[in-house]
């Protein structure tokens, strides 16, 4: 592996932290919008002109959208919580970022790109040295 100057590796770690914060904010916004859809489906249930079959379907929709929204907001919040201390070179944030980056690999296409880059930067020898 080639040696990278500390300033270059430091700027890459800052970029990973910033990307984690941005990814977390976008994911949290997706969660909030999904929660709004769940509220809309809940409005169908509580409306006085509801039909027989639509109430069951709306109930399933509320449950599914609420579950997805909570997971998305938790996932986004975790990225923000890790991204800020990662930029401050906290060793525990590096470990959590590696875990989040590994799971991000499954979230095509942007999560995969973020996960690959995060793992590459944070597992690089010079990157490890900056967190000691």
DSSP per-residue string spanning 64-106: HHHHHHHHHHHHHHHHHHHHHHHHTT-HHHHHHHHHHHHHHTT
pTM: 0.89
Structure tokens at 92: 């525990």
pLDDT digits (tens, 9 = 90+) for 100-123: 999 999 999 999 999 999 999 999
pLDDT digits (tens, 9 = 90+) for 49-98: 766 677 888 889 999 999 999 999 999 999 999 999 999 999 999 999 99
What is the pLDDT at residue 12?
96
pLDDT digits (tens, 9 = 90+) for 5-60: 678 999 999 999 999 999 999 999 999 999 999 999 898 888 877 666 778 888 89
SS3 29: helix
d(C-alpha 47, C-alpha 49), whole Å: 6
What are the distances in angstroms from CA 37 to CA 69, 76, 87, 110?
9, 18, 34, 23
Q: How many CA atoms lie within 13 A of 55 on its CB side?
A: 8
């Amino acid at each position: 592996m080639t040696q990278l100057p500390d300033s270059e590796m430091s700027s890459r770690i800052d970029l990973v932290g910033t990307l984690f914060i941005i990814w977390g904010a976008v994911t949290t916004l997706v969660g909030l919008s999904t929660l709004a859809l769940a509220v809309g489906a809940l409005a169908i249930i509580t409306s006085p002109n509801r039909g027989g079959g639509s109430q069951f379907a709306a109930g399933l929709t509320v449950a599914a959208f609420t579950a997805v929204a909570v997971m998305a907001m938790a996932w986004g919040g975790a990225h923000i919580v890790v991204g800020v201390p990662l930029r401050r070179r906290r060793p525990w944030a590096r470990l959590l970022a590696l875990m989040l980056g590994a799971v991000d690999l499954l979230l095509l296409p942007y999560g995969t790109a973020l996960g690959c880059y995060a793992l590459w930067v944070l597992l690089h020898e010079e990157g490890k040295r900056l967190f000691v």
